Amino acid sequence: MRRPASVLAVAGVLLLTVTGPVRAGDVHRGDPVSAAFPDVDVPVGGTAIDPLGPSLWSTIGPTTLTGVRVAYALSGVAGVRITPSGQGGGDCTTPSATRVVCTDPRGLSFEGETVEMYLPVVVRATGSAEPGTTGKVTVTVSADGLAPITGTSRVHVVDRRVNLPVTGPSAAWIGGLMLVLGVITVVATRRRPVQPPKGSRTAADTGVPVSSGKKSSPLRVF
């Protein structure tokens, strides 16, 4: 029982390790803010597992941006569209099926962590989209006093029968669940009392400690 428990625990740790932030197709390193732009896979007739949005982090420590704006422009692929995501919390407009512009009236504060999928969009593919085709989303991040940061995210159309990898927050949640299950199993296994073999006699049965089976040497009297 110990081996399956160990496997579960290790699986949880590995899943947490390999499913961190979505892979970045483009990275811009700047001052005071750097950005990474993830690539996504979208199945024919379906929706990408995670919303598409830039990951942003401060290179100067805690700071706050105001007048933040993220613009998306999709091109180069047929049968794919982008729409605002309800997870962003910003105000978004959709000039067309391939363009989305979002603003954040709250401002954006950095406290040392990376802000992932900021003001994201949802990527969808119609049933007419062609598997194997690739387009791009040009993402531009701007704010008061900040030079615009532009990057590119690739959109890969895949057959809907393909099992897409789970990434981002979903992956972290699943990895955490696997880790917890592994730990619970290990603890339960360690607390389980060891049962003696069937038919064996113990000290509790006889009142006398059971010998180890080794013969003692006879006492010699001289």
Domain-wise residue ranges, the chain = 22-166
Residue 214 has pLDDT above 60, yes or no: no
CB 132 within 8 A of CB 157: yes
CATH number attached to the domain at 22-166: 2.60.40
Q: How far apart are CA 47 and CA 43, in angstroms?
A: 6
Average pLDDT score over the chain: 77
| Strand ranges inside 39-127, DSSP E | 40-43, 55-58, 63-65, 68-75, 80-84, 91-96, 99-104, 108-110, 121-125
Amino acid identity for residue 206 in this structure: T
Q: Which two tokens stand for residue 79?
A: 């049968």
- pTM of the entire predicted model: 0.65
State the pLDDT at residue 161. Answer: 72
Q: What CA dihedral angle connects 144, 111, 108 and 176, to 10 degrees?
A: 150
3-class DSSP assignment, residue 26: strand
3-class DSSP assignment, residue 181: helix
Q: How far apart are CA 208 and CA 1, in angstroms?
A: 32
Please compute the mean of the pLDDT values over residues 160-178 and round it to a whole number: 51
State the pLDDT at residue 183. Answer: 46
Per residue in 59-73, is it b (16+ CB within 10 Å) or e — as a string? Answer: eeeeeebeebbbbbb
Q: How far apart are CA 115 and CA 26, in angstroms?
A: 16
The region of weakest confidence among 8-22, 27-41, 52-66 is 8-22
Higher-pLDDT residue of 216, 79: 79
| Strand ranges inside 68-187, DSSP E | 68-75, 80-84, 91-96, 99-104, 108-110, 121-125, 134-143, 146-158
